[in-house]
Amino acid sequence: DIQMTQSPSSLSASIGDRVTITCRASQSISRSLNWYQQRPGKAPRLLIYTASSLESGVPSRFSGSGSGTEFTLTITSLQPEDCATYYCQQSARTPQTFGQGTKVEI
Amino acid sequence: EVQLVQSGAEVKKPGESLTISCQGSGYSFTSYYITWVRQMPGKGLEWMGRIDPTDSHASYSPSFQGHVTISADKSINTAYLQWSSLKASDTAMYYCARRTAGVKSLDYWGQGTQVTVSS
């Protein structure tokens, strides 16, 4: 299985801050990387697909970058509703493994 | 409107069997795979497996192979996740999600089904 490692596991930031989350794959996955947001008590929501494509309806303050084994999710100006756990997922190989999650607190 | 509606919460005893469901609407059910994802209490997301509703071919994570069965009935736009003998460690929230064909992301999710296994 491809292992996905996120850092940090949690972070605390202020409204308006720029936040960056890193996801590393145990082997190259090209750009087959997706990002999800999960608010407390809710189902996950797709934010970014193929490393940098913004899903329809997702605010433009969210962006993704990277390829190969290293990827980042950036929130340019943190908002109260961004309090959530963020997961990366590789879709290059089955099983399509998730990272362990990064909890963002405000 | 695309929707995935999952069956309700279940409370079972160890050793019992269980099937939970996920019904799709608002799109062509056979055009997208359905993926099942586990979330144990306070933990992260785990990819369990996926099914092609066209031919009911399923693929599983090695972590779940042999312990669960994924199936589908395209005539009623429904996918299933089945256990023949539950364990306490199966206590979790289970989500179904629609997998896009090209980029293989999970673009629509069900609301989740809570499964509690306790003696």
pLDDT digits (tens, 9 = 90+) for A31-82: 999 999 999 999 999 999 999 999 999 999 999 999 999 999 999 999 999 9
* CA distance linking residue B51 with residue B106, whole number of Å: 13
Tokens of A69: 């084994």
Contacting residues of A for B37, CB less than 8 Å apart: 44, 98
Min Cα separation B35/chain A (Å): 10
pLDDT above 90 for B47: yes
pLDDT above 90 for B116: yes
Residue B117: closest CA among B41, B37, B45, B10: B10
